[in-house]
Amino acid sequence: MELISPTDFAKEKVRSVQEYAVLAAQSIGNIFRRPLYLADMIQQADLIGFGSLRIVLAAVFFTGAALALNSASSLARFGAMTVIGQLVSVGIVRELGPVLAGLVVAGRNASGMASELGSMIVTEQIDAMRALGTDPMKKLVTPRVVSTIVMLFFLTILGDLMGMLGGAFVVNFVLRLDTHQYWSSTWQTLEFSDVFTGLAKPLVFGFIISTIGCYYGLTTKGGTQGVGRATTEAVVASMILIIAVDVFITRLLMITLGT
């Protein structure tokens, strides 16, 4: 690893933030300019959405089951086993569902975007696109951003359902409690603020995942080793940002919605 002065290091990080901000702004602005490249959006939606579906559903299902088990051991001391459904539904819908779906998609697709675009940079395919008059930002970045945002939104909805099904599985087959009561408390507890918070987060997470993956891919340097490095950095950065931004979104929505 090359040693650089603290000043040069700070300048490099500031420049990286500026470049990322420009890329993120252009990816949104290109949505309102033709051509839209709908075929690329559909292809990316298939890769991102359906490719991640099984992993997201499995992760949230077992998380909901584990949440129900852990809640039961604590609630049994107070004779409040009937509120397991409330804890599972609020925990999954508000927090665990969006975050888990975001982390799974980040691990699977941010790395894929970075490696794919990084390989195109190394093999000079991006330069060839510019020479042919095609805007790489509009052709490569915007379809990935739009598809990730849309598909992560629906993946979160399905993941929330599977998380509550995981809790119901534990309630019925492990704890031997009334499943009807579990579902009644689950639906009656959820409020508009819970659902709105849980569905607003994947929109932001999807934007973070796609723009981070594309940024690291388009700034790849150093040949094939650089592609591997960019892939790792994209996954790490997107996961850290998801967890950090989740705190601020939760607090902001709590203040806005008065919860």
Q: What type of residue sits at position 195?
A: V
DSSP state letters, 113-126: HHHHHHHHHHTTHH
Distance, CA of 219 to CA of 213 (rounded, Å): 10
For 18-74, write each residue's pLDDT tens digit: 999 999 999 889 888 888 888 889 999 998 988 899 999 999 999 999 999 888 877
Q: Work out the burial of residue 120: count CB atoms within 10 Å of its CB; fewer than 13 is exposed, 13-18 middle, 19 or more buried.
A: buried
Q: Work out the burial of residue 169: count CB atoms within 10 Å of its CB; fewer than 13 is exposed, 13-18 middle, 19 or more buried.
A: middle
Q: Which domain holds residue 69?
A: 39-257
Secondary structure of residue 175 in the 3-state scheme: coil
103 located within any domain: yes
Domain count, the chain: 1
164 located within any domain: yes
In 3-state terms the chain splits into helix, strand, coil percentages (rounded to 5) of 90, 0, 10
- C-alpha dihedral (37, 42, 46, 49), degrees to nearest 10: 90
C-beta of residue 81 within 8 angstroms of C-beta of residue 177:
yes
For 116-169, write each residue's pLDDT tens digit: 999 888 888 888 888 888 888 888 999 999 999 999 999 999 999 999 999 999
For 187-230, write each residue's pLDDT tens digit: 888 888 899 999 999 999 999 999 999 999 998 887 778 888 89
C-beta of residue 230 within 8 angstroms of C-beta of residue 115:
yes
12 located within any domain: no
Q: For the chain, what is the radius of gyration of the CA atoms?
A: 21
Sign of the four-CA dihedral 211, 151, 94, 27:
positive
Q: Tell me which DSSP letter residue 254 carries.
A: H
8 located within any domain: no
108 located within any domain: yes
